[in-house]
């Protein structure tokens, strides 16, 4: 019987990475926690950025975590979807802007 | 959207013992998650003991004009449990003689009790410092006979605390029913018009936010900022404070968690967010909840679970403040709802 690579319940075990490398794990989680604190950006803005990036990274754990986090902050589903579109626009833009490279090459080889 | 209470529907979860069974079995029985007792024992906080009584919360009946999806009371128009004037008289005696500085009326929709106005008039004479009525707002617009409630509240200097799940129509109506948002906005504007919630006004108007689904409330101060900005920009509405309250896994919210397969994840979220500092100030340590038929409970949630106070004084007719002080609070796994994150109480965060 095959098992899926991703198990939603594994997200709860994230903290356990510290058990096999305590110093680095602890430093990571301290850093992570600090990043999401209220700063020049609000915690709410950071949560929306995280949600968009979770999608461009296509990390299922992050998507679960930041969907819940944005809901907890009272962010509406319309706002969540718009944030994902920002991520998608950058992803597609990043693909398409390379079209210029293709055009340059075509012009050089076959101009 | 629900239209009937679990009780009316004959749902198993209308029985409090069934709810306690669910909260005691499964992931808590197998040891996958620690019971609340074990968890608070880790920090030597078991048993939780009642301190000096400060708040009397009286549930004047389970009847309500709304049938909200997540109601912990399982309230609705079909609920017939209503406090009688006789029991109210007994409550008034206790209010006069107890050291409590806050009186907190809740329901159901407390305004639907036929003796509500009489009770408010009598209670306001007793000289309590803070007299709260938990109003669902829509009741003010439900029927002509309630239209003057803002003036009535003002006359008796009642502190109005109202539920408002979100500043958008969609999220509000999803939880509380179609049309609830528009009626709530109108009611808030009417409360503002008589002076409630205005900056510097003594007529206190606070809002209660509780999440619309299987997630915990966000930071209370940040939510308050968002609510204030949106309600002012969109509707010109003012209010004083926002209380962020966690949904406790009982009654209709428990039914929803189980039906939507969110129960285990939700309990994990509550346990992971457990905060020992919140245990120090849980509301059961300074509050007593009185049911429509005069029985005493550590909180409104225990009332719904029919877990009576652990004291010889169990009914308003034999109320004894000395006996009740220092009593051990009756706990179960639902208590995790009040100790998650910054904690939760009928007055918002506690830690």
User: CA B115 → CA B59, B88, B119, B138, distances in Å?
Assistant: 13, 9, 6, 19
pLDDT digits (tens, 9 = 90+) for B295-332: 999 999 999 999 999 999 999 999 999 999 999 999 99
Q: What band does A2 get if pLDDT is binned at 50, 70 and 90?
A: confident
> Which residues, in sequence order, are bridge partners of residue B287?
B55
pLDDT tier for residue B69 given thresholds of 50, 70 and 90: confident
In this predicted structure, what is the pLDDT of residue A4? 87
What does R_g of chain A's alpha carbons equal in angstroms? 19
Determine the residue among A74, A80, A81 to mutate to test chain B binding: the one whose Cβ has the most chain B Cβ atoms within 10 Å.
A74
**Does residue B348 sit within a domain?**
no
Question: A74 and B219 in contact by Cβ < 8 A?
Answer: no
Domain assignment present for residue A4? The answer is: no
Q: How far is B167 from chain A (nearest CA, A)?
A: 9
- Closest chain A residue to B216 measured between Cα atoms? A72
Q: What is the total count of domains within chain A?
A: 1
Residues of A in contact with B166 (CB under 8 A): 74, 76
* Residue B314 lies inside a defined structural domain of this protein: yes
Torsion of CA B251, B257, B260, B261, to 10 degrees: -130
Residue span of the structural domain in which B281 resides: 6-338
Contacts of B209 in chain A (CB under 8 A): 74
Q: Which domain holds residue A49?
A: 22-110
Q: Does residue B72 belong to any structural domain of this protein?
A: yes
Question: Is B144 inside a domain boundary?
Answer: yes
Assign B1 a pLDDT band (cuts: 50, 70, 90). low
In this structure, is residue A15 part of a structural domain? Answer: no
Tokens of B132: 């709260």
For residue B1, tell me if it sits in a domain.
Answer: no
How confident is the model over A48-62, as pLDDT tens digits?
Answer: 999 999 999 999 999
Q: Is the pLDDT of residue B336 over 70?
A: yes
Number of separate domains in chain B = 1
Question: Percent of chain A at pLDDT above 90?
Answer: 92
pLDDT band (50, 70, 90) for residue B67 = very high
Flag whether B288 is in a domain: yes
Which chain B residues have any C-beta within 8 angstroms of a chain A C-beta?
166-168, 170-171, 209, 211, 213, 215-219, 222-223, 226-227, 268, 272
**pTM exceeds 0.95, yes or no:** no
Assess whether pLDDT exceeds 90 at residue B253. Answer: yes
Residues in chain B closer than 8 A to A67 (CB atoms): none
Backbone angles phi, psi at B202, to 5 degrees: -80, -15
Q: Which residues of A fall within a CB distance of 8 Å from B268? A: 12
- The nearest CA of chain A is from the CA of B111 a distance in Å of 29
- Give the phi and the psi of residue B134 in degrees, each rounded to 5: -90, 105
For residue B124, the SS3 value is helix
Q: Residue A52 to residues A44, A76, B159, B300: CA-CA distances in angstroms?
A: 13, 14, 42, 40
For residue A1, the model assigns a pLDDT of 58
Task: Kindly tell me if the per-residue pLDDT of B44 is higher than 90.
Answer: yes
As separate numbers, helices (DSSP H) first and strands (DSSP E) second, chain A gives 6, 0
Q: What is the pLDDT of residues B216-236, one digit of tens each?
A: 999 999 999 999 999 999 999
pLDDT per residue over B131-162, tens digit each? 999 999 999 999 999 999 999 999 999 999 99
Q: Give the CATH number, domain containing residue A53.
A: 1.20.1290.10
Mean pLDDT across B343-347: 94
Cβ of A95: how many Cβ atoms within 10 Å? Answer: 9
Contact A72 B215 (CB under 8 A): yes
Coil vs helix vs strand at B106? strand
B165 — pLDDT class (breaks 50, 70, 90): confident
Instruction: Look at residue B220 in the predicted model and tell me its pLDDT.
Output: 95
A104 and chain B in contact, CB less than 8 A = no
- CB–CB contact A74 B218 (8 Å): yes
């Amino acid at each position: 019987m095959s098992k899926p690579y991703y198990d939603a319940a594994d997200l709860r075990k994230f903290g356990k990475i510290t058990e096999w490398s305590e110093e680095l794990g602890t430093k990571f989680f301290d850093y992570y926690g600090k990043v999401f604190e209220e700063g020049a950006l609000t915690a709410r803005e950071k949560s929306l950025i995280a949600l968009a990036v979770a999608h461009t990274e296509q990390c299922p754990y992050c998507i679960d975590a930041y969907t819940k986090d944005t809901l907890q902050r009272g962010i509406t589903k319309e706002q969540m979807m718009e944030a994902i579109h920002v991520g998608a626009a950058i992803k597609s833009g990043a693909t398409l802007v390379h079209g210029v490279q293709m055009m340059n090459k075509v012009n050089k080889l076959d101009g | 959207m629900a239209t009937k209470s679990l009780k009316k529907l004959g749902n198993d979860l209308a029985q409090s013992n069934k709810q306690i069974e669910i909260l005691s079995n499964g992931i808590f029985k197998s040891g996958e998650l620690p019971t609340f007792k074990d968890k608070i024992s880790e920090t030597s906080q078991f048993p939780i003991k009642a301190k000096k009584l400060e708040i009397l919360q009286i549930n004047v009946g389970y009847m309500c004009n709304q049938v909200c999806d997540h109601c912990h009371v399982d309230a609705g128009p079909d609920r017939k449990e209503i406090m009688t004037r006789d029991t109210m008289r007994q409550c008034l005696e206790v209010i006069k003689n107890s050291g409590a500085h806050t009186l907190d009326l809740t329901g159901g929709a407390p305004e639907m009790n036929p003796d509500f106005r009489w009770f408010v008039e009598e209670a306001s004479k007793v000289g309590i410092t803070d007299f709260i009525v938990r109003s669902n707002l829509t009741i003010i617009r439900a029927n002509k006979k309630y239209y003057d409630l803002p003036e009535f509240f003002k006359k008796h200097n009642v502190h109005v605390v109202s539920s408002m799940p979100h500043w958008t129509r969609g999220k509000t109506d999803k939880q509380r029913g179609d049309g609830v948002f528009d009626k709530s906005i109108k009611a808030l504007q009417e409360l503002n018009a008589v002076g409630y919630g205005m900056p510097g006004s003594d007529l206190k108007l606070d809002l209660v936010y509780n999440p619309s689904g299987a997630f915990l409330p966000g930071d209370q101060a940040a939510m308050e900022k968002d609510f204030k900005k949106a309600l002012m920009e969109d509707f010109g509405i003012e209010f004083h404070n926002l209380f962020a309250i966690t949904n406790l896994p009982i009654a209709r919210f428990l039914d929803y968690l189980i039906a939507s397969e969110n129960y285990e994840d939700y309990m994990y979220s509550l346990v992971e967010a457990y905060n020992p500092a919140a245990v120090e100030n849980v509301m059961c340590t300074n509050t007593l909840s009185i049911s429509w038929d005069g029985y005493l409970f550590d909180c409104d949630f225990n009332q719904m679970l029919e877990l009576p106070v652990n004291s010889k004084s169990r009914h308003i007719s034999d109320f004894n403040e000395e006996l009740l002080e220092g009593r051990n609070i009756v706990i179960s796994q639902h208590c995790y709802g009040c100790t998650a994150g910054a904690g939760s109480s009928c007055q918002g965060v506690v830690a």
